[in-house]
Amino acid sequence: MKRMGKSGKVNRAEPTDVSWIEKFPGCVELFQQAGWLDFFKRIDGYNTQVSCKFAQCYNQDMVVFDTLKFRLTVDLVAEATGIKNEGEMWFKKLPFTFEAERYLLPNVTPDLSKGILIQNFRSEWVEPIRILQSYITCEGRYAYVFKYHFRFLQHMVGVSKMSLPFFLFKSLQKMSSRVRGHQDHTSQSIFHHGLIKLIISTVLQSEGKT
């Protein structure tokens, strides 16, 4: 999977399976403890055209395209990902507390109003953060770590639990709203491809269509 360089250019390439994580036993254990590993294991490719249709046809919590019609809910996201809907209902811009020093190299003074270069993090956190950026937040800026990423790290170390299904639900809402509001959107505007496939597959299975 391609990742972007130091330029900060967005690259929305996403993993198509869990093989990357399985190369790092420490990451497997960390995300297993966080309760998120099963989601990564369920990812099995995706179809960018279907993702685009989903984003364009998702409005007011309803997804309607072709013969498919369903209401997207946090519970449906939880079922599709295999993640329990437990913990704080948190999304970007909601305040939270954390100690950046726990994750950063000594003598690094972060400017939280800007991104922090990934090389400023302790070695044991570099790969988990890259996995987090690729499988969950999908913002496509792999050279930098932003303030909201620390909220996920707080969950992962057991300091403050958050509901990942709720976060993903809100992220899909935000992404789809932006796509519908810009007719000239590009493939870089659409993400969560693996998640979208899981959601649609879950709905089809519930309707006995697969």
pLDDT at 183: 67
Contacts of 111 (CB under 8 A, 6+ apart): none
CB atoms within 10 A of CB 180: 14
In Å, how far are 22, 99, 151, 196, 207 from 159, measured between CA atoms? 25, 11, 10, 29, 39
Q: How confident is the model at residue 105 (pLDDT cuts 50, 70, 90)?
A: very high
136 pLDDT exceeds 80? yes
Averaged pLDDT score across all residues of the chain: 90
Given a cut of 80, whether residue 134 has pLDDT beyond it is yes
Check residue 184 and give its pLDDT: 65
Rounded-to-integer distance, Cα 134 and Cα 196, Å? 15
Q: What is the pLDDT of residue 19?
A: 95
Q: What angle do CA 194, 195, 197 make, to 5 degrees?
A: 65
Q: What are phi and psi of 206, to 5 degrees?
A: -65, -25
CA distance 132 to 129: 5
Q: What local confidence, expressed as pLDDT, does residue 107 receive?
A: 93
**pTM value surpassing 0.85:** yes
Q: What is the pLDDT of residue 4?
A: 41
pLDDT at position 161: 97
* Of 50-54, 112-116, 153-157, 205-209, the least confident: 205-209
